[in-house]
Copies of this chain bind each other. A is one copy, B any other.
Amino acid sequence: MKVKLASNYGFCFGVKRAIKIAEEYKNSSTMGPLIHNQDEINRLQNDFNVGLYKDLKEVKDDDTVIIRTHGIPKNDLKNLKAQNAKVINATCPFVTTPQQIVKKMSKEEYSILIFGDSDHPEVKGVQSYGEDQEDVHIVLEPSDLEKVNFKYNKIATVAQTTKKKEKYLEIVNTLILKNKEVRVFNTICDATFENQDAARELSNEVDVMVVIGGKNSSNTKQLHSICKENCQDSYLIENEKEIDKEWFKNKTLCGITAGASTPDWIIQQVVNTIEACH
């Protein structure tokens, strides 16, 4: 079977970078799971002896700790460093940016607004960089702004990297109408949307489509749903074992895409298996 990969799929820049760092620092441990893919975590454990802390308290002196792409709160980082742990910072550069913006803007006496999910580790990290924690506000919807009391009428705003731009603009527009100055930092990362755009394009070209990723991963499910819009015969699988040869009967071209937590070696196994189908 002939296959064609989407022009963008799988890991984003930040995750690729973090995995490369983990491979370089054998015998280290990551603070929380590096990605939402157990197969990849097992591979790093087996091939590079990369372990996993579930809590900061598990870190011992002289350990090598890898900070994952989401980043961690400022004080946690400070405590780790104070503990004489060797800290390897794999925080995605696209996440470091909003952290530093929040730090700088709150020093310059701007009220801070973060568009994101207050429970998300990335947002918790970014939030921690505000000088005045009471003037760092987190919203998910424009209507959430009604409950927000800013200290200043100068607002600086950043967004969680994986959020949708359209919603960010709605929030920003509400801010602009009510404040003298709004300093908008567009910190949204295109990676997720690039995978989606590429899936949309490819699913229009092919007569069967395979989406690889976790069945509980919201970003993989979204890719699957985009593909089904254009190509009825779209299948969601976690690995090559789930492939059914029957899918490719009387088909000419199979499109392939993968969720943001799907490692390349799993994608490659799927490609090889489909190519071997007749």
Contacts and interface: CB of A to CB of B under 8 A. Distances in A.
B181 A185 contact: yes
A182 B177 contact: no
A169 interface: yes
A16 interface: no
Please classify how large the interface on chain A is, using the bins under 10, 10 to 19, 20 to 34, 35 or more: 10 to 19
Contacts of A172: 172-173, 176, 184
Contact of A186 (B165, B179, B184, B185): B179
Interface in A173-224: 173, 176-177, 179-186
A83 B177 CA distance: 42
Contacts of A182: 183-184, 186
A169 B180 contact: no
A165 B168 CA distance: 18
A210 to B, nearest CB: 32
Contact of A184 (B165, B168, B181): B181
A259 to B, nearest CB: 25
A182 B185 CA distance: 7
Nearest to A168: B176
A177 B181 contact: no
A72 B132 CA distance: 41
Interface string A27-65: 000000000000000000000000000000000000000
Given A173-B169, A176-B169, A176-B172, A183 B183 contact: yes
A156 to B, nearest CB: 9
B183 A177 contact: no
Interface of A: 165, 168-169, 172-173, 176-177, 179-186
19 contacts: A165-B177, A169-B173, A169-B177, A172-B172, A172-B173, A172-B176, A172-B184, A173-B173, A176-B184, A176-B186, A177-B186, A180-B185, A180-B186, A181-B184, A181-B185, A181-B186, A182-B183, A183-B183, A184-B184
Given A172-B173, A179-B186, 18 more contacts: A165-B177, A168-B176, A169-B173, A169-B176, A169-B177, A172-B172, A172-B176, A172-B184, A173-B173, A176-B184, A176-B186, A180-B185, A181-B183, A181-B184, A181-B185, A181-B186, A182-B186, A183-B184
